Amino acid sequence: MATLVPKRDFAAMMWKSIRLELARTDEFPRGSPSRSYLLRLPLSDDGAIDEVELRQQPRHATVRRFWPSQPDLVGYVVRSPRGWEIAYDFERPDAALGRIDGDALRLGECVTLAEPNGRRLPFRVASVEALN
pLDDT tens for each residue of 65-97:
988 988 888 889 988 888 888 887 666 656 667
Instruction: Report if residue 10 sits inside a domain.
Output: no
Residue 116 has pLDDT above 60, yes or no: yes
pLDDT given for residue 6 in this prediction: 46
* Any domain includes 3: no
- Residue 62: domain span: 18-130
Asked whether the predicted pLDDT for residue 7 surpasses 60, the reply is no
Q: Do residues 129 and 17 make contact, with C-beta atoms less than 8 angstroms apart? A: yes
| 2 inside domain | no
When pLDDT is averaged across residues 11-19 and rounded to a whole number, the result is 81
**Inside any domain, residue 75:** yes
Q: Rounded to an integer, what distance in angstroms lies between the CA atom of residue 25 and that of residue 63? A: 22
Among 23-27, 97-101, 122-126, whose mean pLDDT is lowest? 97-101
Tell me if 115 sits within 8 A of 121, measured CB to CB.
yes
Strands (E), 2-117: 15-22, 32-42, 62-67, 70-80, 83-89, 92-101, 110-114
Q: How many domains does the chain have?
A: 1
Q: What is the pTM of this model?
A: 0.84
Residue 76 lies in a domain: yes
| pLDDT for the residue numbered 80 | 82
pLDDT tens, position by position, 19-45: 999 999 999 999 999 999 999 999 998
Which pLDDT score, from 0 to 100, does residue 10 have?
A: 47
